[in-house]
Amino acid sequence: MPKASTRIKTYRNANGPVVSTVDRRVFEQDGLTFKDIDGSGTLSAVNDWRNTPAERAAAYVKVLSVKEKIAQLFISDWRMAKYPMTGPMAAMYKDMERKTDAYGILDEGEFRGKTIFGEQHLPSTTTLLKEWFNRHVILRANATPADMADWMNEAHAVCEQCEHFIPVAAASNSRNENGELVFGMNDAGGVLATWPGTLGIAAAVKGCRIDLVDKFAATVRREWNACGLRKGYMYMADTMTDPRWQRTYGTFGEDPALISEIMTHIIPGIQGSAQGVTADGVAVTTKHFPGGGARENGFDPHYAAGQWNVYATPGSLETYHLPPFAAAVKAGTASVMPYYSKPAAAKSEPQHDLQGNVIEMEPYGFAYNRYFIDTMLRGQMGFTGYINSDTGIAHNMAWGVEMLDVPERIGFAVNHAGVDIISGLFDNDAGQQAYDRAHTDYYDTHPIPQGFTKDQLVLTDEALDRAVTRTLTELFALGMFEDPFRDPEGAERVVADPADRAAAAEAHRRSVVLLKNDGTLPLSSGMKIYAEAFLKNPEQAKAATQALRAELADCTLVDDPAEADAALLFVSPSSGEYFNATPGYLELDICENKTVHNVDAEGRPTAETHTETTLSGAGRLAEIAAAVHAHGGKVISNINFTMAWQVGNVERLSDVLLAGFDTYRDATLDVIFGRFVPTGKLPITLPRGDEVLAVNEAGICVSPNDVPGFAKDRYMPDALKDENGKAYAYRDAAGHYYEYGFGL
């Protein structure tokens, strides 16, 4: 039998949707074509596309079995046979049995083992879809457009073989930005039209116009839809306030006003309208409510030390963190992802909700926090979409509800807090247990955990139907029941559109921020140039240097800095690990083997020390600069900002300093050689040095963690302020402050 992509039958309705199928029955009525979605063989409320998505979803939950509905509550990682796991995924799934169907499309491997999110059991794809009836997966493979479309088509075809048809909703983290591929953050890149990182998009927008975001969103929508990807875990509405937060690079910076404006444009552009998702749109999951930027000295909630959101400054939550989410809700975002963390009442000042009420700081992770989800997000912001938890909340990151077992956590999240999809594992069995406990005398013989009630911990029919209705409504609105299939060759054509590539290239050039220039720029290509790239990984630095020199093939390159008229130094620091805490605070200094203090279990500095390196060969920067300056040469440095680096060790050596944000090198070189006049502006404030990030013996930072860089001076001690009343931002030799919005 040929593969699904070659067996698709298509029917067109006048003034109605396209109906496509491989094996599902279709029928005609009133001169129109309908698909037999619910298996009834009749023009039921479910099958009639003239009904609203909400009406069809409400009818379908009455048809589906409890087992089928419970399967809709969970989403987890999935894989593609043709694309082996990389990075942490490779380590997690190294012993997985790998088989494929006759076309090499569906991965039939089975896996059992421990992952970073808990004990994982992944069956074959066919088993997952036909027997387990799960329909929500996180596709992390970095596949070609044609392969993604083929894989999705094959998966939908399997789903059509079930009594009740529900298409596969494959979610993905963003795929249209440049950057290091990291599991759980940037799983894929370099295949679709590739823009700079989101910080770079913010830098470009700040220095240019918001229509750049409109072009970006339209590109994402066309490309994803063509590939069959209809749900994006993107974008972050978080305001970056603690510079040591490792996820800084995925934000749009530190200004809630700019982030809100971007949300207002990017969400309708990707989803297809300002009223929500459309049949040619991609559903957006805005994350991480109510904002992950308020970290406690940079600790991340992927590990226990970072499980708190600390609001040390009165009013910071409503002033800096909530507004972008309110803008996202107003723009019609399909779903919202709460963060892992929980509010730290003991360490926080009073915060107010959108109606001026003092917020109840319940000690539960935000996916379990009814006040934040139900009272604030739904009640006050008016959010009507669905809640998609972050990955792992029911197992390894169950902050605040560790005393509950997994079925109770599922019940508490769905029944009590209002979560609609739980990410991390396919916990169908635990979901069934939570449901059974609501319909049996389980708690007559088992204790109810202190502080909870039975009604909070079980999965009721009402809560189950509510959650499934919300996710089905989105699938109906996306047109995925009628027309889930995509043309693989068409996907390749859409993604190859030169206009989208040109728009991405323009964004890269506009993302470059010129921080310092003593008149050296633009360079002449006739100069003798020494070029080297620096990274934390020495082997990667060698490869990056070779690539940099290859892009300078038209220049006169020298191997000795002492012979150079100019040195081009591309500096890309890196700090910490995504899923593990560092022994001390995350290092922002561009340094090598720097001695820093450890921290204790409470996040306070100790007398013990260790060394940190954010850039291998950092000491050589000064040697190169001295060699070049000795005969009147110039040093041009470019720093790649994934975090708010302390730039002093580079700026003091440089005659020219530029900032990029996962910006393509050729775009930076266009600025250096005068082929493009820089327009980018800093989307974040760069801290002056260790003194403005110092943490006292009580674990309190001298610059508040919950306030953006442009506002930190209001809270800084006078002893740190200069003659202009500024303390936090870095100030260069020319007197410029590297603060939000700066750029020459």
Q: Residues 198, 205: contact at Cβ < 8 Å?
A: no
Token readout for 370 is 């009814």
Beta bridge partners, 138, equal: 77, 171
Q: CA 135 to CA 345: how far, in whole Å?
A: 38
Phi and psi torsions of 215, nearest 5°: -65, -40
Say what the pLDDT of residue 225 is: 98
Predicted local confidence at residue 389, as pLDDT: 97
φ and ψ at 173, to 5 degrees?
Answer: -70, 165
* CA–CA distance, 228 with 4 (Å, rounded to integer): 14
Q: Please report the sign of the dihedral spanned by the C-alpha atoms of residue 667, residue 671, residue 675, residue 676.
A: positive
User: Alpha-carbon distance 60 to 610, whole Å?
Assistant: 59
Q: Report which residue type is found at 17.
A: P
What's the rounded Cα separation, in Å, for the pair 307 and 721? 32
Q: Which residue has the tokens 């730039």?
A: 647
Tell me how far the alpha carbon of residue 633 is from its chain's centroid: 42
Paired residues of 536 in beta bridges: none
Beta strands in 528-577 (DSSP E): 528-535, 556-557, 566-572
The DSSP H or E segment spanning 641 is none
For CA atoms 60, 65, 70, 76, the dihedral sign is negative
Given this model, what pLDDT does residue 141 score? 84
Longest CA–CA separation in the chain, Å: 86
* Predicted local distance difference test score (pLDDT) of residue 640: 98
In a domain, 730, yes or no: no
The pLDDT value given to residue 94:
56
Whole-number Å distance between alpha carbons of 24 and 8 = 10
The whole-angstrom distance between residue 356's C-alpha and the CA centroid of its chain comes to 30
How far apart are alpha carbons 416 and 434 in whole angstroms? 12
Task: Extract the tokens encoding 169.
Answer: 């909703």
Single pTM value for the model: 0.96
Neighbouring residues of 462: CB distance < 8 A, sequence distance ≥ 6:
none
Measured CA angle at 618 (ends 616, 619), to 5 deg:
125
| Cis ω for the linkage preceding 736 (within 30 of 0) | no
Return left, alpha or beta for 462; rule: phi > 0 is left, psi -120 to 50 is alpha, else beta.
alpha
Instruction: Tell me the residue length of the chain.
Output: 744
Three-state secondary-structure class, residue 309: strand
pLDDT at 320 (0 to 100):
98
Domain span at 570 = 500-720
User: Rounded CA gap, 660 and 683, in Å?
Assistant: 11
The alpha carbon dihedral of 166, 167, 170, 171 has a sign of: negative
pLDDT average per 10 residues of sequence, the chain (744 residues): 88 96 95 97 97 98 98 92 61 55 67 74 89 94 92 96 97 90 60 96 94 97 98 97 95 98 98 95 98 94 91 96 98 97 93 92 96 96 97 94 98 97 95 97 96 96 98 98 97 96 97 97 92 96 96 94 97 87 93 96 93 96 98 97 98 98 97 97 98 96 97 97 97 97 97
Residue 322 lies in a domain: no
Position 87 scores a pLDDT of: 52
CA distances from 586 to 295, 597, 686 (A): 12, 11, 15
pLDDT at 91: 57
Asked whether residue 592 is assigned to any structural domain, the reply reads yes
Element (DSSP H or E) covering residue 640: strand 634-640
Cα distance between residue 458 and residue 456, in whole Å:
6
- Residue 272 CB neighbours (<10 A): 22
Q: Which residues, 6 or more positions from 153, have their beta carbon under 8 angstroms from its beta carbon?
A: 3, 4, 5, 8, 22, 228, 485, 486, 488
The pair phi, psi for residue 336, each rounded to 5°, is -130, 135
CA dihedral 116, 337, 642, 579 (to 10 degrees): -10
Number of folded domains in the chain? 1
The CA–CA distances, whole Å, from 449 to 52, 404, 409, 656, 738 equal 42, 7, 11, 62, 51
Q: Is 478 exposed, middle or buried (0-12, 13-18, 19+ CB in 10 A)?
A: buried
Q: What is the pLDDT of residue 525?
A: 80
In a domain, 537, yes or no: yes
User: How many angstroms separate the CA atoms of 332 and 338, rounded?
Assistant: 17
Sign of the four-CA dihedral 11, 134, 137, 265: positive
Distance CA 125, CA 134 (A): 10
Peptide bond into 290 cis (omega under 30): yes
Any domain includes 540: yes
Reported as type and span, the H/E element at residue 550 is: helix 538-551
CA–CA gap between residue 148 and residue 168 (Å, rounded): 13
Task: Check residue 36 and give left, alpha or beta (phi > 0: left; psi -120 to 50: alpha).
Answer: beta
What sign does the dihedral 114-119-125-126 (CA atoms) show? Answer: positive
Q: Is the peptide bond before 578 cis (omega within 30 degrees of 0)?
A: no
- Record the tokens describing residue 203, joined without a space: 């830098």
Give the CATH number of the domain where residue 705 resides: 3.40.50.1700
Tell me if 459 sits within 8 A of 415, measured CB to CB: yes
- Burial (CB count within 10 angstroms: exposed 0-12, middle 13-18, buried 19+), residue 553: exposed
Q: Are strands 74-78 and 136-139 parallel, antiparallel or unpaired?
A: parallel
What is the SS3 assignment for 536?
coil
Q: Which residues partner with 113 through β-bridges? A: 120
Tokens standing for 669? 């070189």
Q: 528 forms bridges with which residues in the sheet? A: 556
Backbone angles phi, psi at 240, to 5 degrees: -75, 115
In a domain, 127, yes or no: no
Residue 315 domain-assigned?
A: no
Q: With respect to residue 549, please indicate whether it lies within any of the assigned structural domains.
A: yes
The pLDDT, as a whole number, for residue 278 is 97
